[in-house]
């Protein structure tokens, strides 16, 4: 799988045919078909690796076990990890595949939707553990994940310099502030 991901650094997922991939890896297309079955199964394997990488970044977000400052630090660390070569690839693949995944899984139960839900759930649980109501925890967790997704999109459009780490830090700080001091900060 590492070799496949390396191939995808310079090739969009939509152009990664079995033939192109086999040529790049120095194997037969039969070997790929034997291992993955079909293109959809290959895509699912790739997206599984992307999701696993995104879930690993959640390791620093432990509901109830870390305070606001530690959450900000964990969020900034996760963002910095996403700027690695592999992190940037995972981000790009998640955007590329996210559109087609929604077509394949209209109910929103695909791999990338699950990764999004994992992030929302982790932040929601952190907010609940720090005194937010269920309604505020849900809306603020969704909002932070939406802001981070927008920043990731900007990153992929314009490059890392277009998203200073201070924007990510500010997003996490606002989340923790709105969660821990909800009145009158959260407008209804």
What does the pLDDT read at residue 187? 52
Q: What is the pLDDT of residues 35-58, one digit of tens each?
A: 888 888 888 888 888 777 766 666
Q: What is the pLDDT of residues 3-33, one digit of tens each?
A: 888 888 778 887 888 888 889 889 998 998 8
Q: In this model, does residue 62 exceed pLDDT 80?
A: no
Question: Quick one: which of 47, 49, 69, 71 has its CA closest to 60?
Answer: 71
Structure pTM?
0.78
Q: What is the pLDDT of residues 73-130, one digit of tens each?
A: 989 988 888 888 878 887 888 777 777 777 777 776 777 788 888 889 999 999 999 9
What does the pLDDT read at residue 188? 47
Any long-range contacts for 117-122 (C-beta under 8 Å, 24+ apart)? 118/51, 118/54, 118/55, 118/58, 119/54, 119/58, 119/145, 119/148, 120/145, 122/58, 122/61, 122/63
């Amino acid at each position: 799988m590492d070799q496949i991901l390396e191939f995808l650094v310079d090739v969009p997922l939509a152009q990664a045919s079995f033939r192109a991939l086999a040529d790049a890896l120095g194997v037969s297309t039969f070997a790929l078909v034997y291992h993955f079955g079909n293109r959809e199964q290959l895509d699912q394997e790739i997206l599984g690796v992307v999701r696993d990488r995104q879930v690993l970044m959640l390791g620093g977000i432990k509901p109830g076990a870390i305070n606001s400052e530690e959450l900000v630090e964990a969020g900034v660390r996760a963002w910095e990890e996403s700027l690695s070569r592999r992190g940037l690839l995972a981000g790009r693949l998640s955007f590329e595949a996210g559109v087609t995944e929604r077509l394949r899984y209209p109910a929103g139960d695909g791999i990338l939707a699950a990764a999004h839900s994992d992030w929302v759930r982790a932040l929601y649980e952190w907010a609940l553990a720090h005194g937010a109501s269920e309604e505020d925890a849900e809306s603020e967790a969704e909002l932070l994940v939406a802001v981070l997704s927008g920043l990731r999109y900007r990153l992929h459009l314009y490059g890392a310099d277009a998203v200073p780490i201070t924007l990510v830090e500010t997003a996490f700080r606002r989340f923790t502030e709105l969660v821990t001091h909800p009145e009158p900060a959260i407008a209804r």
